[in-house]
């Protein structure tokens, strides 16, 4: 019997606002949980009211890490300073390795109705912080979905039941899944024992090894190879290898040292960012 992961700590998502005034719930990157190596931030943007999301995220920079956007419902338009453009729609994902720099905007492509999406920030190690930017834009139908009477599992990154997600070439060897549990227990999710792992429940209630986790709660999991989920709800399941380096962060730039952070803002002001 592989070593089963248990809930080590629960963090309640904190309502806050970012971008040009988007109301969201943040669970990593808050006083209660500054970071969870290699993860730097997790936002849940979820509203039926346009005034909560319509302002969007106008032009802003990123350097030194990766942003992962996963749309549960709704549409977001992405545009950057290099001329890349893309539409993220319900069930789609974008894994953006910002590397040395991206200046982009992320705006809702809808003026009413429900918008629900996540953004996760994943750190890069020092040797990869200044790599050229790279996008992996994944259309909804390119994400495999494993359906059973116990629930549905969508694999964006990593592997479940022998099915691999489309994201590749990411330093932390990530697992990123959207799991709907339907009143029972789903077959075990296997992850490397020492990877950092968490779940973020976004509807209903999902239990890890029998320990119930409520909606809009992030549960950090202890070490082990096996994650056993049960209950009736929907959750993100995320894991990745820790980087174990110093972090110097300010807003959308995450480096190793204060000197690198100052250089990044200097590059941005002088137009030498990307
Ligand atoms: Mn951004």
Whole-number Å distance, alpha carbon 104 to ligand 1 midpoint, is: 6
Whole-number Å distance, alpha carbon 61 to ligand 1 midpoint, is: 7
- Would you state the structure tokens that stand for residue 262, as one six-digit string? 């100052």
- Quick check: 82 and 274 in contact, CB under 8 A? yes
Whole-number Å distance, alpha carbon 60 to ligand 1 midpoint, is: 6
- Quick check: 9 and 32 in contact, CB under 8 A? no
Whole-number Å distance, alpha carbon 148 to ligand 1 midpoint, is: 35
Place of tokens 């986790």: 213
- Would you state the structure tokens that stand for residue 220, as one six-digit string? 């950090």
Q: What is the DSSP string of 89-113?
A: ETT-EEEEE-TT-EEEEEEES-SSS
Backbone angles phi, psi at 142, to 5 degrees: -90, 0
- pLDDT tens digits, the chain, 274 residues: what are they? 569 999 999 999 999 999 999 999 999 999 999 999 999 999 999 999 999 999 999 999 999 999 999 999 999 999 998 888 999 999 999 999 999 999 999 999 999 999 999 999 999 999 999 999 999 999 999 999 999 889 999 999 999 999 999 999 999 999 999 999 999 999 999 999 999 999 999 999 999 999 999 999 999 999 999 999 999 999 999 999 999 999 999 999 999 999 999 999 999 999 999 8
- Quick check: 235 and 179 in contact, CB under 8 A? yes
Whole-number Å distance, alpha carbon 121 to ligand 1 midpoint, is: 10
Whole-number Å distance, alpha carbon 117 to ligand 1 midpoint, is: 13
Whether the full predicted model's pTM is greater than 0.85, yes or no, is yes
All domains in the chain, ordered by first residue:
7-270 (2.60.120.10)
């Amino acid at each position: 019997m592989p070593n089963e992961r248990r809930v080590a700590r629960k963090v309640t998502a904190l309502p806050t606002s970012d971008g040009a005034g988007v109301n969201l719930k943040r669970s990593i990157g808050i006083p209660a949980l500054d970071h969870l190596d290699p993860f730097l931030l997790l936002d849940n943007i979820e509203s039926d009211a346009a005034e909560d999301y319509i302002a969007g995220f106008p032009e802003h920079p990123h350097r030194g890490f990766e942003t992962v956007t996963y749309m549960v419902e709704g549409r977001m338009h992405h545009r950057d300073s290099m001329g890349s453009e893309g539409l993220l729609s319900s069930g789609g994902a974008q894994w953006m390795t910002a590397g040395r720099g991206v200046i982009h905007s992320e705006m809702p492509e809808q003026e009413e109705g429900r918008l629900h999406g996540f953004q996760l920030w994943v750190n890069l190690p020092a040797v990869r912080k200044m790599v050229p930017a790279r996008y992996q834009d994944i259309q909804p139908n390119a994400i495999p979905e494993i359906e059973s009477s116990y629930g549905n599992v969508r694999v964006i990154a990593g592997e479940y039941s022998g099915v691999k997600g489309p994201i590749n070439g990411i330093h932390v060897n990530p697992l990123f899944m959207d799991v709907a549990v339907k009143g029972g227990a789903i077959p075990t999710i296997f992850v490397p024992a020492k990877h950092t792992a968490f779940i973020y429940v976004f509807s209903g209630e999902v239990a890890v090894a029998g320990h119930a986790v409520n909606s809009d709660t992030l549960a950090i999991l202890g070490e082990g190879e096996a994650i056993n989920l049960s209950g009736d709800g929907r959750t993100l399941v995320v894991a990745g290898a820790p980087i174990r380096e110093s972090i110097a962060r300010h807003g959308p730039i995450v480096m190793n040292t204060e000197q690198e952070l100052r250089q990044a803002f200097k590059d941005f002001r002088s137009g030498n960012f990307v």
